[in-house]
Chains A and B, each alone.
Chain A
Amino acid sequence: MKEHCLDIGSIQAFLDGELAHSESARVSGHIAMCDGCAVMLAEAENESAIVFPALEREFNSLVPTQRLWTRINDSITVERDAQPIWRKAWAYVSIALANPSLTAAASILLVVGIGVVVWTNQEPVGNDIALVSRPAASAPATAAKQPPRQIESADAGVDSDAAAASAPRQALNYQRASYQPTRSRERTDLSPVSSDARPAAEASSYMPGEDIYVKTIANLAKNVDETKDIVMRPAQRIAYERDMAVVNDAISKMQKEVKRNPRNESAKQVLYSSYQNKIDLLNSVSQKEELMASIR
């Protein structure tokens, strides 16, 4: 072990961070195993702790160390990044224009480009239009600013008014990125979008499957409300209403909890279970009525 011990130079280089990564790892591994080298490292650290603060000003001001070079390079990088982009572009263009063949090619491209732009602006709106999605909820605001135009399909020549009447609501979620107002395609009234979107928003507030429970309960409750006074005596009504209150309370609490923390699977499970309890309770009234009717 002794012949592999580190010399003080290596330890000092290790302390100064001058060793390569692999070498540094080897040295730290050896120090961890060797008590003698660990003592040497501790002594070197103590010496450095005394010497470096005393000489720091001299190091920083007089000696062009690696640290100084690093600072200079960092400053250059920052300054380069801060340079405006047009200045960079101009530098590239200047270099490029120094070559006559490149200059000629650029001139031809410029002329052709201008021609294409002029020709495109004269054509009626075609089928080469990008579709940009927009949220349905923002439709009224968009309509107030500029009448949006629907895109039912990418086929050219489709009469958009006729298609608008039959198109599914999802089609309203699209408009042209480069809008060209055309009188025949204007649509100012987007109220159906907002009214249709509202139930969709309500439905989306339910968890998967929850809306089925809610609809079922609503249907059952409607029937039971009409018949419960006939089917149940007052004492039974009290028990029924008490049970219903217990179930409703559980549902209310779980709904709040699920809204607060949608990832609470326990609350979801109890919520579904409570929905089922409510359905069973409502069903019991209906089934009792059926049984009473069958016993005549």
Chain B
Amino acid sequence: MIAAAFAALAVPAGAQGPWTAPIIRPVVIAPPDVHAAPPPPLLTDGHTSERAIAVDPNVNLSICVTQGSLKINGWNRKEVRVFVKDGAKFGFKVLEKGKQNDPVWITMTSAASKANPTTECIWGDEIEMDVPVNATINIKGRQTKTVIDTVRKANVKTIGGDVSIRNVSEGVLAVVYVGDVTVEGAKGGISLETTTGNILVFEAGPSEIGDTFKAKTSSGMISLQKVEHRQIEVGSISGSIAYDGRILNGGAYSLSTSNGSIRMSLPAETSCNVIAWYGFGSFDTEVPMKILTENISEGPVKRIHGLMGAGDATVKLTTNNGSIAIVKQ
């Protein structure tokens, strides 16, 4: 399963720049019907329209989307442009203006129905938005497939639908109840959460000292590649965890799952303390490790404390039911 997940994280040869980032194909572990979100009331009879508004470069954009495929792309203009295909008639609402009278906080409204003439939620078959690269995006969604590319900060909460975020410079917060979360090339504090779905992260790091990385899923696997945060906390209940990257000096890494395996792919010269708890399973390492303390007697919890190199970081690995493997890169 893990190998298949890594195989899916194939980086195309010659891929360069923010627009040609590696293609991540999420690996679906749970049955397909488990990923099905509650079907929203089907909105039809839509209109195709496009609007734009001049904004502050650091604009904060709050959007609510009930249905549709949402794509948000950063550009180097002080303007927000929205294109909706087969969806709601919409308008902009300025919530706050800056010193130069440019909107610094905007939202969108639409006419949902005659009974409810204005709502903050929009819908459409396709919703495309161009926003300043320094914009902060706040999205609430019911059933949306969301793609966000090249913005300053992204906060996404959706009930159903996959979320893909790339090239974010100052932090990502994503909470998805049913769906996969994919993050590429993100900087800053990162917090990813999905109830039923996988989490895949490729090339992430802090934008400031102390930025943390958190990823949590109830049913799904978590795969991290080249994550450069020094504080990483990853947890799953029913799913495996894969980590491929470096262990940085002074870092604190915690990977835990109740039912699944943990696999770390580390450089041979890794320096860290490894504390592993496992129940039914095994612990294996290809990277040389000096065992400091070990309790592998019969019982539901076995514990190994080992030292790799000088022990400049702390790695805690916990699985109640599954194996723990550390392999050389």
Contact = CB atoms under 8 A, between A and B. Distances in A.
Contacts of A256: 300
A281 B177 CA distance: 11
Contact of B121 (A250, A253, A281, A295): A295
B64 interface: yes
B300 A257 contact: yes
Interface string B63-99: 0101000000000000000000000000000000000
Nearest to A234: B33
Interface residues of A, number: 33
Contacts of A257: 299-301
Contact of A294 (B31, B140, B195): B140
B118 to A, nearest CB: 12
Nearest to A274: B258
B218 A281 contact: yes
B107 interface: no
A296 interface: yes
Q: How large is the interface on B (under 10, 10 to 19, 20 to 34, 35 or more residues)?
A: 35 or more
Contacts of A296: 116, 119, 121
Interface string A238-259: 1110110011001001101100
Contacts of B36: 233, 235
Contact of A253 (B178, B256, B279): B279
A264 B218 contact: no
A43 interface: no
Contacts of A264: 299, 301
Nearest to B256: A273
A254 B300 contact: yes
B145 interface: no
A239 B277 contact: no
Give the one of A264, A266, A267, A269 with max B CB within 10 A.
Answer: A266
A281 B237 contact: yes
A250 B140 contact: no
Interface stretch (A108-116, A117-125, A193-201, A284-292): A284-292
A264 to B, nearest CB: 7
20 contacts: A235-B33, A235-B36, A239-B34, A239-B196, A246-B258, A264-B301, A266-B295, A270-B277, A274-B258, A280-B218, A288-B159, A288-B177, A291-B140, A291-B157, A291-B177, A295-B140, A295-B142, A296-B116, A296-B119, A296-B121
Given A253-B279, A266-B303, A270-B277, 20 more contacts: A235-B31, A235-B34, A235-B36, A236-B178, A236-B196, A240-B218, A242-B219, A246-B259, A247-B258, A257-B300, A270-B279, A274-B258, A274-B320, A277-B237, A280-B218, A287-B175, A291-B177, A292-B159, A295-B66, A296-B116
